[in-house]
Amino acid sequence: RVQFDLWDSDDVPVPRKELLQKVKGVDALVCVLTEKIDAELLDAAGPNLKVLSTMSVGFDHLSLEELKKRGIRVGYTPDVLTDSVAELTVALLLTTSRRLIEATHEAKSGGWGTWRTLWLCGYELANSTVGILGLGRIGVAIAERLKPFKVKKFIYTDVAPRPELASLIDAEYVSMDELASQSDFLTVCCALTPETKDICNKDLFSKMKNTSIFINTSRGGVVDQEDLYEALSSGQIAGAGLDVTVPEPLPTSHPLFTLNNCVILPHIASASYSTRNAMSALAANNLLLGLKGQPMIKELKL
């Protein structure tokens, strides 16, 4: 007979202290990205823990070395959220480049006067160069959706060329410097790793055009937010759209919230009913298969 313990709140993450008590002696654990699965937690769980299933495609909240050391199998949920994240990225890109948040505010607050030639002008995708930092499934899905907007060229950078994926969207592999200097729209789709932490910093922003739009729907940690604030407030780049920040939630007093040319969303890229249902089912099935000692549907190779 299977016994399970559920933290039954969608509004508040399980308090760390309570989580450390509840995991004692468990055979398996389902988590989301708000839980830090580290040595402390794994020690608290004890030797029975054999399977971990995270309801996320990112795994920067997991100490992979510790999990590997203890022989714990890890399931995650890639693929099922690709469409949802790509759609939201396109929505965020258009919202930022065409200044929709500013525009709705002006309409609501009485700023809408007579027609003006350059009022609320933004930047369009037609004839533009779109850069992708980290070309995986989500990067390809974003490019596929942007193609009908008459984008002139797709470029990407990654740790190494990805010819198979790149051929799907006719994207050219370039250096990080070229990605920065050529992109009219730069979208970040890489995982957060020690190598990618703060990779979007002063160095990158200083090489970008002052008409470029920067979009991040991956993880907040890949961006140096102080450098981004500087680039946006000085006009070094034209605008930024972020679905992810450090920390999350971003305090309402954060300087980025004071900027008209920065659109910040509360990490909702995978927030469609069908995607969250699919993620939940996949996380549960990974866990059950792991408990039976069978291959998971989606397993992280440690």
Q: Which residues are catalytic?
A: 267
At 90, the amino acid letter reads: V
The answer to whether the beta carbons of residues 42 and 64 sit under 8 Å apart is no
Residue 52's Cβ-side half-sphere holds a number of Cα atoms within 13 Å equal to 31
What interhelical angle do 100-109 and 82-97 show, nearest 10?
60
Question: Using CA atoms, how far apart are residues 173 and 155, in angstroms rounded to an integer?
Answer: 6
Provide the b/e sequence for 161-186 (b: ≥16 CB within 10 Å). ebeebbeebebebbeeeebbbbbbbb
Question: Using CA atoms, how far apart are residues 234 and 227, in angstroms rounded to an integer?
Answer: 11
Residue 84 neighbours by CB distance under 10 Å: 22
Structure tokens at 205: 């922003």
What residues contact 89, with CB distance under 8 A and at least 6 apart?
A: 138, 142, 187, 189, 215, 217, 243, 269
Question: Using CA atoms, how far apart are residues 196 and 28, in angstroms rounded to an integer?
Answer: 30
The answer to whether the beta carbons of residues 102 and 260 sit under 8 Å apart is yes
- For β-strands 213-216 and 185-188, DSSP reports them as parallel
